[in-house]
Structure 1
Amino acid sequence: MRKPLAIMAASAIALSSLILAPAANAGETITGSGSSYAAVMINECRSAYTEHSVTYNPTGSGTGKTQFANGTTNFGASDSLYSSGAPKNFTYVPVIAGPIAIAYNVPELKALRLDGPTLSKIFLGEVTKWNDKAIADLNKGVKLPNETINVVYRKDSSGTSNNFSNWMKQVVGSPWKVNDVWTTAAGKTFGTAGDKSQGVKNTMQTLPYSIGYFDLADTLTTNFGIAAIKNGAGQYVKATVAASAKFLAAQSMKSNGAVLFDYNKKVAGGYSVTLVAYGMAPTKNGTAKADAVRGFFDYMLNTCAPAKAAAKGYVAFTGKFLSNANKLVATID
């Protein structure tokens, strides 16, 4: 009888260990929505996070802000701040940054330089051919195709559009306005619309001789060229993590986490078409779900992003920016 008893005892111990062992994602389930620019990074972090279960829907920044304000989600993510309709008792948390890549689908064009005025004319439909003199003057010795430029822009309410239009307004001026809606920012409708960052990428893949703007992360899965854009120091710089980080470091951050971009600032080697994605979280909720959001944001800033951001095409915060972001995380409740 000793063997059966031993087996029963071993089984009981094994069963007790199964009952006591904490399961992965055994905590709260929290939901978020918003920025499609930051989606690759957020999904990378949430899939590796084990304290709580996190779901994220890359609806675009505009919808993310609305859903968070309405209480539909536990947290939001946006590349632009509220201009109206902000909820009470919440905080912004800058969670990730990175370049807006100006991508082009022109296989025979291996390198491309563009400045602000020329880029503006392309997106306004005033420069319509790839071999236009305005482009040729910036690309001496480069054989440019005699093909029509197909502009692709964001259809949805987009923080990426907000930041790119802000860059246009600062660098070029009229007629550009800062707005989440591209056609409002440009003051006209020109080109083909793509839904969210991934929609711009997918549209460009089916549209030869196209140009568009979206996150560097999504360009890594394409064969698109990336234009070198003239910065405030007069240099033509391609969208890279290092060049974006250099430009970001020269900017300032307010106590509420908002980064104030001076896109004309002379930063040698800096890529100026850079943005910040913000998390949005409650500060007087007093619930376990709010605690879970605080835990996830802390994990993104201090564990996930430092380890994984650069490989995914993003810039992780460091130094005084990270310190300020962590102070804001601490206010989530």
Structure 2
Amino acid sequence: MKLRRKFATVAALAAVASMAPVTSVNAGTSLGGGGASFLANMMDICAAQYNRNTAFNTDSDTVTYASVGSSTGRSGFANGTYKFGGSESAYTSGAPATLVYVPLVGGAIAIGYRVDGMTPANAQVRLTGELVAKIFAGQIKNWNDPEIAAANKATSVARKLTATKDGVTASVAKVGSKVNFTVKMNAAARAKYKNAKVVITRTALGGSPKVVLSAKPAATLPRSINFAKNTVYTVKAGKTTIGVLATEKVQDGVTITFPNLAIRVVSRSDGSGTTNNFANFLNKSYPAIWTKPTSDTFATAFPGTIPTDGSFQSARGNEGLSSYVRDNNGAITYAELSFLEERGVKAAAVQNPGKRYVAPSPVSSAVWFESAEVAANGLVTQNFANTAADAYPINAISYGLTSTAVSADNAAVKKFFNYFLTQCAPKNATGVGYTALQGAIKDKALAQVARISAG
């Protein structure tokens, strides 16, 4: 909880510095929410800012949030313990008749680890999705396993200066200390992508992508940036990847030597939407290994019986998982990225369906969600075959749980969720390891907000 209070303190200071006046004239409505720990760091920031911002919080309402896990959040909202809930997974039973799911924010489920004694010590571990499935199924038990070693050998990516697709030609050239891009689009391409953007991202291999160009379609789009070694450049038009370019042959990753160290898998002890989304990725992507349907309960989704030899441990909340790995050599877990970052826990680069190793980040998570579909009820279905080069493959969406029933409390929740989606998340999410919603998912989220307290 100490680390969560740090997020809230930063948020409160930002709110004080904003243009909105601060006052405590009216008591307002007390909105006590609870649920997913995945959401907690983002919720702390948004609640703290909203509570002090009278430009949006005109009734001086007070929002609080208890990090108790998605399962408890769903049951607590259904039985009236919480005025709104938070969850990354849907009700399977007991849903209120007036329920509204509101997508609030996304994020990467990062694979956090601690491996003392590996060389180079500061290298980022790389894991294929299959390795993740095997490790968390207990099929790989030691960090020096040959399959882990094979994924962590330096390879190379060939020089590629030009790519053409759908009437779009992208080229790159190194000139002195600069890298110069030219993107040319014929008339058909400009028409096809007129409502989209041309985006170029650069990625230090194994790292997180960074956007270096985002522009509306045009006949010619030039861009010049500083050269960096071991970097590839992904060019996209809308959701279409035109190509991955490199100005030189680059080294992909480093060769890591691992110690003889037992792997200790750490899973959630409580009902968890993070677990549900993680196990869903494993089951949908590697059904021969993870043979059971997903569940909020790790033991229920686990393919078999969890070992009792000490190689599997459990902890409560994203906070507990991250803290356990920080404190225990050999441990590995799954947690929302911000919880690992605030504890200094390293996160693995995971190979995506396009065969690229990508680090978890707000940007790589956003790329993944570009291919997701959102249903009429607001629930998001991920595309586990997404081959986008810069997409990180293990992610979740956090939903707010609320109601269409007309009431003062629900009207207050409606105002807060609108602020969360339109003000707080766009301004703060990336900086603290979350992914602000975009495109069709955000549009649907705002449509769901409009249903709150609307009868």
TM-score where L is the length of structure 1? 0.91
Q: Which residue of 2 aligns with 1:189?
A: 306
Q: Where does residue 249 of structure 2 map in the other structure?
A: none
Out of 53-62 and 108-117, give the one that drifted further.
108-117
User: 2:266 touches 2:313 (CA, 8 Å); kept in 1?
Assistant: yes
Question: Among residues 97, 100, 104, which one is paired with 1:95 in the alignment?
Answer: 104
| Residue identity in the other structure for 1:92 | Y
Contact preservation (8 Å) 1:79, 1:160: yes
As a proportion of its length, which structure holds more helix? 1
SS in 2 for 1:82: coil
Instruction: Tell me the residue number matched to 2:267.
Output: 153
State the alpha-carbon separation in 1 of the partners of residues 269 and 26 from structure 2. 35
Q: Does 1:317 align with 2:415?
A: no
Separation of aligned partners in 2, 1:228 and 1:238: 4
Listed one character per residue, the Cα deviations across residues 106-134 of structure 1 (whole Å, up to 9, x for unaligned) are: 24442211112211221122111101011
Instruction: Please say which of residues 23-32 and 156-165 is displaced more in the overlay.
Output: 23-32
Any idea what SS the aligned residue of 1:32 has?
A: strand
Verify the 8 A CA contact 1:96 1:315 in the aligned structure 2: yes
Q: What TM-score do you get using the length of structure 2 for normalisation?
A: 0.67
Which residue of the partner structure matches residue 180 of structure 1? 296
Aligned residues: 312
Alpha-carbon distance in structure 2 between the residues aligned to 1:25 and 1:45: 20
- Residues 258-311 of structure 1 deviation map (CA, whole Å, 9 limit, x = unaligned): 111121221221011011000010101x21111110011001000000010000
Shift of 1:203: 1.4
Written as runs of structure 1 = structure 2, the 5 A alignment for 1:17-36 is: 23=24, 26-36=27-37
Give the Cα–Cα distance (whole angstroms) in 1 for the partners of residues 372 and 136 of structure 2.
Answer: 26
Q: 1:22 to 1:147 in 2, by over 3 A?
A: closer
Q: Which runs of 5+ in 2 are unaligned?
A: 1-21, 52-56, 154-254
Secondary structure of 1:220's aligned partner: helix
Alignment of 1:121 with 2:134, yes or no, is yes
Task: Show structure 1 runs of 5+ residues with no match.
Answer: 1-20
The amino acid of 2:418's aligned partner reads: D
1:133 corresponds in structure 2 to: 146
Q: 1:24: Cα distance to partner?
A: 6.2
8 Å CA contact 1:170, 1:264 repeated in 2: no
The AA in structure 2 aligned to 1:305 is: A
Give the secondary-structure state (helix, strand or coil) at the position aligned to 2:429: helix
What is the match of residue 248 of structure 1? 369
Match of 2:387 among 266, 283, 299: 266
Name the amino acid aligned to 1:62. S
Identity %, equivalent residues = 35
Matching residue's letter, 1:72:
T
Q: Is the 8 A contact 1:216 1:313 kept in 2?
A: yes
- Give the counterpart letter for 1:220 in structure 2: E
How far 1:28 sits from its partner (Å)? Answer: 0.7
Q: Structure 2 counterpart of 1:164, which letter?
A: F
CA 192–322 in structure 1, closer or farther in 2 if over 3 Å, else same: same
* CA shift in 2, pair 1:24/1:265, >3 Å: farther
Please give the root-mean-square deviation of Cα atoms over the aligned residues, in Å.
1.4
- Mean CA deviation greater in 169-178 or 211-220: 169-178
264, 276, 289: which one aligns with 2:397: 276
Find out whether 1:209 has 2:333 as its counterpart. Answer: no
